[in-house]
Structure 1
């Protein structure tokens, strides 16, 4: 599993090489357009259709303005020849004013519609990204490459689908306007139209290079942006605030933040200068073509091929058409530039495909007689050393089994393998002899309750913090309170201002915080509420005082009511009453048995137990 997950990652150098190798062909352009339109259509088809209609209407209004200008100029010239013919002037003037007003109104309405459609697309993309981040294998979160990709998606790719659509809409509007205005210009002089169309080519050529630069810059700056974000969170986080003040870290952290920001700004300055140079060259080329077009118009006027009224209308048409042609090619550039980010996004979204397989397959049985890890190996992505090496443990129904060992011995990793959160590279987890991969892993996990040492303290109500243990159905108040009592959390919760409805965080109005030990009991209640046949408790007593720790383990069998429990601890005295104890060292199980058996064997367990006991005795004597 670890290796498979690692294969999905693409480092920045490879990503940039892939981007450069992609050709900006019409076939690729059509693929990008189809993907984006499909997404936007699903997000807000009504708004999308409305925007297209408005674009066509705006294009027709622009073409009408050219003809209206010609009609106004003709009527003005007629006034000089035939006094009193003012009625013929009012009609084209009113039409011109009306078309100008329509264009302005359409622009204002489009802005509001685009904002709403953009939010709808963003929500749709967030739905997909969150599905990936909450659905991918847990091993992904051990790799910085995954976080780099997540950062790029959050910073760029989420907005790009809509930018592609904006580019498409702009292209459609510019194309329609170009056709309408071009037709009006052809009626004045066919020679002017091809000159203006050539004027858009310099912008298109330089924009191709600009899109590459933008994507390269984003990929290169992802680690810097991640560090800047992290330093921001550290300096604004509630949990870090006390340590920042205790160690006087404010100036030091701020200087690190300034250094990260300065690095980014330096790279951004260089990047923007490159883009500005390319943009200036493209627009300069277009301006030269525009000057040549206007020179051709002057020649046509002097040659008598264009009337004065036609010349006035042609100048308006040239200016309109030049901007529309540039808008057309700019839309193409926007689509290609966004396309590089979209392909990065699609690669990220594909990470969730293996997670979908976890829901496939038959349901796991509701119970078991024996659950075992059979010679399992596991190596974290990017690591050369296995975290678990050929470990074998066995738990029978109703037993309380403990895994002990020093820090870094592989206890928690083995527990995650037994919980179905990590898939072993070798070996298997078996229920009554059947590999759990024969069933839907999602259903396997639903039969297991895990209380981690670093459990999450949700800034939600006390009721929600316990009911999170089983969100497959609405909260059951009786079961919820019974779980709180079993974990010893009921007293602390019921003393809160609003009892179980009190938010367990000072981030929100009316919220209260709990002590570390009280939070630990809430987390344990969360595991009890799940009512699963297999319970894994990873250092559940880490925040408890010795008496509370003793009471917890002493009452564990009664509280679990016959469920199987795996208890992980580095405190050997806590687990002495377990049915069986496994001792881990460097990822391997080095011995196992009951407390008495292990003490009699005189191995590592006996040595470490005596060391810990001596430390406690010496502490008591002093």
Structure 2
């Protein structure tokens, strides 16, 4: 069997998703609860203490209300046998005060909860975005990673929901104990009867939680597709092409189909949940009715008086509500715990990324970069993007990577930039495998700009200074980099010069042409004082004169730094010290322009084809 026919190695994200499918132990759930509580405490310790105290106070007030109701009913009954309205005043005032305090406390609890929720969400988003920025690019080649990221983004507030549920459980338990004690004093048998009434809800709530998680997992891809189609229909960059090709209706119809599929699945899901909920509540209501019948029998049998019966009815209703709160909290924890498995899994990717990227500090400079029998495949692919690649780069040299589309030029550039690790072979700096170095430190010594560079809706100075985001902005370096890239002229003419926002998304912003944006991106690479500069199609949006000027000044601008540039325009690479020709993921030729032309191989063929096309245009004119 050839290497191309070998099955692709299973992506690590897929392995982790499969491995976690069966892990739903109580210990695992307890760990998630512990971490969620710790997260809430980190987000706002004072607010956490206040909310906890409020839950306990509220529970105590509920128990006090039952006692007051019993006293109130007793006084009302005694009005006909000597009690006065003055005797009624105290329990009435007490009941009113307790009710008002309970209402106020509930409002305070809601508002503090909102503040704490935002703080928890902020911490959670900071963790999620940190992991997303830290994991290797290989993860972004795997669809399962995007599914996982989508679910994590949709459930970033789950830790707060878990801690809120814990507080509800705490309040429910406290209230249950307090109200239950009052009920037990009225008649001991009433408490276990009510406890039995909660069993159906425990079972059905657990089943509902499993259903909710399964539905969310099943619909993740659909949700991602709907988000993507919405982005296409509302994006500024996509707006031109959507109108030019009249794609709005087509994309909207496609979005409607995805919505229809989602709503159809949701209908089935909701029906299933409602059936479970109906069964649980119906059984619980039947058991509660039985309890009420027993209370009536106790009254008829003389075991309790009317005031105690009234208090018992109020206590039963309160206790049922607290049991519902308690069970609802348990359901939230279990349901959120399932989602938090995803969050925990995603955050572990950040820890793994730190371990993967750990290593010794590389030298600040290098004499040679050696690519030794390098091989690379993208996740899920059976084909090598690069195979048996060998090359030697001297410090201070200009190296050009050329070849037809799909030949592996950009992939090789990404590996040299430290964005990917090779699967086979090695990339060595002065003989040391770069995988022994810290990946972050390696990337800090490389300035790389790709053809699909980012256009940040920031000021011009900030756009350029992103080339070295680890240090404060140096305005002198910003201007020097812009001048070297030929961007100073048009940036200086902007309304606020380098402080102008380069986007029309925000008030006062200005947009640039494609060529101007490319010069800003090149300035970004120049701003980063790195010994290795990688430029992927750096002149794709430049006119012929600007392209000529850029390459004519490249050596002077780089000041002895090593440069690797990817280009499909053979006229721009003639002055390179080394031209590397790639085809189907392999290096087929390398040498200077004169050497390769004299050899008469693929480079010479492609160079003559492009030259002939230019000459034909000249002859026609």
Matching residue of 1:90? 89
Distance 1:511 1:10 in 2: 46
Q: Is the 8 A contact 1:451 1:524 kept in 2?
A: yes
Q: 1:121-140 to 2 correspondence within 5 Å?
A: 121-140=120-139
Q: Is the 8 A contact 2:460 2:491 kept in 1?
A: yes
Q: CA deviation at 1:22?
A: 4.4
Q: Is the 8 A contact 1:373 1:430 kept in 2?
A: yes
Work out whether 1:119 is the aligned partner of 2:118: yes
Q: Is the 8 A contact 1:10 1:145 kept in 2?
A: no
Q: Residues 264-285 of structure 1: CA distance to partner in whole angstroms, max 9, x if unpaired?
A: 1111111011111101111111
4+ residue runs over 6 A deviation: none
Distance 2:616 2:208 in 1: 70
**Which residue among 262, 265, 276 is the counterpart of 1:264?**
262
Q: 1:178-197 to 2 correspondence within 5 Å?
A: 178-197=176-195
Cα 1:236–1:489 shift into 2, 3 Å: same
Work out whether 1:589 is the aligned partner of 2:587: yes
Q: Is the 8 A contact 1:417 1:424 kept in 2?
A: yes
Matching residue of 1:247? 245
Report SS of the residue matched to 1:385: coil
**Which residue among 311, 315, 318 is the counterpart of 1:317?**
315
Matching residue of 1:502? 500
Report SS of the residue matched to 1:9: helix
Distance 2:560 2:121 in 1: 48
Q: Is the 8 A contact 1:24 1:336 kept in 2?
A: no
Report SS of the residue matched to 1:454: coil
Q: 1:152-551 to 2 correspondence within 5 Å?
A: 152-156=151-155, 158-357=156-355, 360-551=358-549
Q: Is the 8 A contact 1:359 1:443 kept in 2?
A: no
Compute the TM-score of the two structures, normalised by the length of structure 1: 0.96
Matching residue of 1:39? 39
Distance 2:556 2:191 in 1: 89
Q: Is the 8 A contact 2:9 2:380 kept in 1?
A: no
Q: Is the 8 A contact 2:204 2:277 kept in 1?
A: yes
Distance 1:293 1:491 in 2: 85
Q: Is the 8 A contact 1:8 1:351 kept in 2?
A: no
Gaps of 5+ in 1: none
Q: Residues 115-174 of structure 1: CA distance to partner in whole angstroms, max 9, x if unpaired?
A: 111111111110111011100001111111111110011112x12111111111111111
Compute the TM-score of the two structures, normalised by the length of structure 2: 0.97
Distance 2:226 2:16 in 1: 20
Distance 2:536 2:24 in 1: 52
Q: CA deviation at 1:597?
A: 0.4
Cα 1:248–1:428 shift into 2, 3 Å: same
Cα 1:449–1:23 shift into 2, 3 Å: closer
Report SS of the residue matched to 2:44: helix
Q: CA deviation at 1:5?
A: 8.9
How many residues of Structure 1 are paired with residues of Structure 2 in the alignment?
614
Q: CA deviation at 1:33?
A: 2.2
Report SS of the residue matched to 1:71: helix
Q: CA deviation at 1:4?
A: 8.8
Matching residue of 1:56? 56
Q: CA deviation at 1:10?
A: 4.8
Q: CA deviation at 1:305?
A: 0.7
Report SS of the residue matched to 1:582: strand
Distance 1:287 1:192 in 2: 15
Cα 1:24–1:378 shift into 2, 3 Å: closer
Distance 2:346 2:287 in 1: 43
Work out whether 1:6 is the aligned partner of 2:11: yes
Distance 1:107 1:45 in 2: 20
Report SS of the residue matched to 1:468: helix
Q: Is the 8 A contact 1:599 1:606 kept in 2?
A: yes
Q: CA deviation at 1:354?
A: 3.0
Q: Residues 52-92 of structure 1: CA distance to partner in whole angstroms, max 9, x if unpaired?
A: 11011000100000000011111122221015x33222111
Distance 1:448 1:512 in 2: 30
Cα RMSD of the aligned pairs, angstroms, is: 1.6
